[in-house]
Copies of this chain bind each other. A is one copy, B any other.
Amino acid sequence: MKKDTIGLPNGRQATREYVVHPGAVVLIALLPNGDVVLERQFRYPIGQVMIEFPAGKLDPGEEPLLCGLRELREETGYSAAEWAYAGPLHIAIAYSTEVIHAYFVRGLTAGERALDEDEFLEVFTAPAQQFLGWCGDGTVTDAKTLSCAIHLSQYLSGQRELSWQSVPRTAGDRV
C-alpha cells in the first residue's frame, strides 16, 4: 500500500491510499469447437471458488503478451498460435494502480501444465454462449472475467473486428 497526500481542485488536501500493482494479463482463449478456456480457483479474500479466465501477474519487466502466453501454458497447458489485443482493464480504480491487459488467443494446442507449487486451480472449457449466460445469471462474478465478456460478446456477434497476429516464435522458447 502507498499513501499520498494530494491537492484537490478546491485547494484542500486529501489522502489517497492504494495498492501499487505490477499489472497483469487475462486471456480469452478460444477453442476450435467454440468453447472458451476457464478456471475454477478458490479466492481467499472472497471465500469462494470463482470461475475466471486464465490470468496472471506480470513479472518485473515482462512484456504483457509474453506473460499471457506463459500464464496460459503454465495454468492450462495450452499454447496459442494467434493473438489479438482486446484492451486494457483498470480493476479497482479507487485504490489500485492495477491494469490488466486482455488478449484473445486461438489456435490452441494442449500440453502439460506447469503450476507453481502453491497454485491450485481446475481448468475446464465451456461453450462461449453458455459462458456469456453465466455472466448474466450470477455464476460468473469476477470483474476481470465479466469485463472480457463484453469483448467476447461483441466479437462473436460481429460488432468487433480483431487484428489477429501470429504468436512470435520466440514466445515458446522463452516459456
8 Å CB contact of A93 from B132, B142, B150, B159: B142
A141 touches B6 (CB 8 A): no
Asked if A110 is an interface residue, CB under 8 A from chain B, the answer is no
B44 touches A16 (CB 8 A): yes
Q: Which residues of B contact A98 (CB under 8 A)?
A: 92
* Segment touching B, from A29-37, A60-68, A83-91, A163-171: A83-91
A10 touches B117 (CB 8 A): yes
Chain B residue nearest in CB terms to A155: B136
Q: Which residues of B contact A89 (CB under 8 A)?
A: 141-143, 146
Given A18-B44, A46-B93; A132-B118 close (CB under 8 Å): no
Most interface-central of A18, A87, A118, A147 (chain B CB within 10 A): A147
A93 touches B45 (CB 8 A): yes
8 Å CB contact of A90 from B9, B118, B142, B154: B142
B143 touches A94 (CB 8 A): no
Given A8-B120, A150-B150; A43-B94 close (CB under 8 Å): yes
A173: shortest Cβ distance to chain B, in Å? 29
Asked if A153 is an interface residue, CB under 8 A from chain B, the answer is yes
Which A residues form the contact surface with B (CB < 8 A)? 1, 4, 6, 8-10, 12, 14, 16, 18-19, 43-46, 50, 52, 87-100, 117-118, 120, 132, 135-138, 141-144, 146-147, 149-151, 153-154, 159-160
| Shortest Cβ-Cβ A-B pairs, 3 listed | A146-B147, A18-B45, A149-B150
